[in-house]
Amino acid sequence: MKLFGALMAVTGLMFIASLYVGYAAISIPEGVAALLGRGNPLYVTVMQEIRLPRTLLAAMVGVSLGLSGAAMQGYLRNPLAEPGLIGVSGSAALGAVIALQTGFAAMFLLALPLSALAFAALAVGLILFLAGPRGSSLTLILAGIAVSAFAAALTSLTLNLSPNPYAASEIMFWMMGSVGNRAMSHVWLAFPIMALGWVALAGLGRGLDALTLGEDAAEALGISLSRLRLQLLLGTAAAVGAATAVAGAVGFVGLVVPHILRRFAHGRPSTLLWASALGGAAMVLAADLATRLILPERDLKLGVVMALIGAPLFLHLIYKTRREIA
The pLDDT confidence band at residue 131, using thresholds 50, 70 and 90, is: confident
Rounded distance, CA 74 to CA 208, Å? 6
**CA–CA dist 69, 257 (Å, integer):** 8
> What is the pLDDT, as a whole number, of residue 324?
66
In this structure, are 92 and 205 located in the same domain?
yes
Give per-residue pLDDT as tens, 210-222: 999 988 899 999 9
pLDDT at 154: 94
Question: Does 2 share its domain with 143?
Answer: no
In this prediction the pTM is 0.93
- Confidence class for position 85, pLDDT limits 50, 70, 90: confident
117 and 247 fall within a common domain = yes
Closest CA to 229 of 199, 208, 259: 208
Residues 94 and 221 in one domain: yes
Q: Give the pLDDT confidence score for residue 325 in this predicted structure.
A: 63
Looking at the fold, whether 83 and 119 belong to one and the same domain comes out as: yes
Residues 72 and 151 in one domain: yes
Q: Do 83 and 143 reside in the same domain of the chain? A: yes
Sequence-separated (6 or more) residues with CB below 8 Å from residue 242: 64, 113, 117, 120, 189, 190, 193, 194, 197
Same domain, 263 and 296: yes
Residue 103 shares a structural domain with residue 167 = yes
Q: Please state, in angstroms and rounded to a whole number, the distance separating the CA atoms of residues 67 and 82.
A: 10
199 and 126 within one domain = yes
Assign 3-class secondary structure to the chain. CHHHHHHHHHHHHHHHHHHHCCCCCCCHHHHHHHHCCCCCHHHHHHHHHHHHHHHHHHHHHHHHHHHHHHHHHHHHCCCCCCHHHHCHHHHHHHHHHHHHHHCHHHCCCCHHHHHHHHHHHHHHHHHHHHHCCCCCHHHHHHHHHHHHHHHHHHHHHHHHCCCCHHHHHHHHHHHCCCCCCCCHHHHHHHHHHHHHHHHHHHCCHHHHHHHCCCHHHHHHCCCCHHHHHHHHHHHHHHHHHHHHHHHCCCCCHHHHHHHHHCCCCCCCHHHHHHHHHHHHHHHHHHHHHHHHHCCCCCCCCHHHHHHHHHHHHHHHHHHHHHHHHC
Side chain identity at 14, as an amino acid letter?
M
Mean pLDDT of 78-103: 88
**Which of the pair, 187 or 160, is modelled with greater confidence?**
187
Can you state the angle between helices 52-76 and 2-20, rounded to 10 degrees? 150
Given a contact cutoff of 8 angstroms between Cβ atoms, the answer to whether 72 and 272 are in contact is: no
**Is residue 237 domain-shared with residue 307, that is, in the same domain?**
yes
Mean pLDDT for 304-312 is 90
**Which has the minimum average pLDDT: 26-35, 102-111, 238-247?**
102-111
Same domain, 155 and 291: yes
Q: 59 and 277 in contact (C-beta within 8 Å)?
A: no
Looking at residue 128, its pLDDT comes to 86
Our CA angle for 34, 40, 43, nearest 5°, is 50
Which residue type is seen at 23? Y
CATH number where 108 lies: 1.10.3470.10
Q: Residue 291 pLDDT > 90, yes or no?
A: yes
Would you say 190 and 57 are in contact if contact means Cβ atoms under 8 Å apart?
A: yes
Q: How many domains does the structure of the chain reveal?
A: 2
| pLDDT computed for residue 12 by the predictor | 97
* CA-based nearest residue to 63, from 196, 226, 157, 198: 198
> Which carries the bigger pLDDT value, residue 136 or residue 191?
191
d(CA 238, CA 88): 9
Residue range of the domain that includes 137: 56-325
Percent of the chain with pLDDT over 70: 98
Look at residues 13, 28, 47 and tell me which one is the last residue of a structural domain: 47
